[in-house]
Amino acid sequence: MTIDLKQLSARLGLSPTTVSRALNGYTDVSEATRARVEQAAREFGYQPNLAARRLALGRADAVGIVYPVDTDFMGNPLFLEMIAGVSDRLEAAGIDVLLAVARAQSELRTYERLVRGRRVDGLIVAHTRVEDERVEYLKRVGFPFVGYGRTGNPEGFAWLDFDNEAGCLDAVRRLTALGHRRIAYVHAPLTMNFAHQRHAGFLRGMAEAGVPVQPEYVVPGSLDRRGGYAAGRQLLALPQRPTAVLVDNNLGGVGVVRALLQAGVAIGREVSVIVNDGVPPDTLLIGQQIAAVAQPTAYDSGTTMAGMLLALIEGKPLEQPQVLHPPVFIEGASIGPAPAA
């Protein structure tokens, strides 16, 4: 049998206000009283009135992630894995994850409604952009949020990101060391900050090796399998096809690999392939060991960001407000020496 706040207060001989403040961690309640109240709550099976608690604290007990339906994030296992990490970490704190859907042209208005209506206590901003009006809005109104990625101006807000430029630079160095000079690059929209950074790493690696970037080898491939497939077909149709392809995102990489296999290309011998984030395990590209520039698991990133956001919601300073992970290269059978001309 459970008891409510009034019954718990009567058993303890304390006022409901004192018991409520003790349970909610207010500092004007002594440690001894707080410990006594918490122990009694466990013993008597106290169940809080969540609606009353939210009203008293001005909390929604929810964190928001806005999903833009114009992209293919929900088809990306890494994005779903990140949300799982966020959800598991927040569930332990009694907080829900609210996934809001928005079109690109109305995305900022969705953020404004969530903030003004206090529908969430904090937000995770996914796939940050070089110039990001969402981030600037949240900074301006002082609302708790964590960026899943940086922006072109990465100061003044909490974020978790990966050294995208270093990852692509390393990939190009490996390809040029194997003798590749005709290196193609398939990329997501460069307005996205991760794509902008990875593109910069590609250009830097090519310049460092003294290899000219051929415009016809640099192909926009979007963030989905279809875009990657079309990019792969486009590269194969060139009079002189590349000997290596670097793809800046995992779903685009699936499409590129499928196009090469469909054309009968021996991956790793005729054309080498490296995919940022790796080829997702849920594809039908069975037996293909594709070399990758990898990151710490998206699940761990989710739990880390959730912890950061919880601290921000509580008004606590972050020991590390900006987390940058180094890239890790995963070897695969998809790369080899450049074929003889």
Options 3.40.50.2300, 3.40.50.620, 3.40.50.1820, 3.40.109.10; which CATH number does 62-161+297-327 get? 3.40.50.2300
pLDDT in the model for residue 35? 84
> Is pLDDT at 73 greater than 90 in this prediction?
no
DSSP string, 79-148: HHHHHHHHHHHHHTTT-EEEEEEE-GGGHHHHHHHHHHTT--SEEEEES-BSS-HHHHHHHHHT--EEEE
In the chain, domain spans? 5-57, 62-161+297-327, 164-295
Do 62-161+297-327 and 164-295 agree at the fold level? yes
222-236 pLDDT, tens digit each: 788 899 999 999 999
Tell me the percentage of the chain whose pLDDT exceeds 70: 91
Q: What is the mean pLDDT of the chain?
A: 89
For 238, how many CA atoms within 13 A lie in the half-sphere containing its CB? 19
**CA-closest candidate to residue 173, choices 260, 254, 246, 236:** 246
Tokens linked to 7: 């019954």
C-beta of residue 279 within 8 angstroms of C-beta of residue 257: yes
Class of domain 164-295: alpha beta
> Is pLDDT at 74 greater than 60 in this prediction?
no
d(CA 123, CA 116): 13
Q: Which CATH superfamily is domain 5-57 in?
A: lambda repressor-like DNA-binding domains (1.10.260.40)
> Is pLDDT at 56 greater than 70 in this prediction?
no
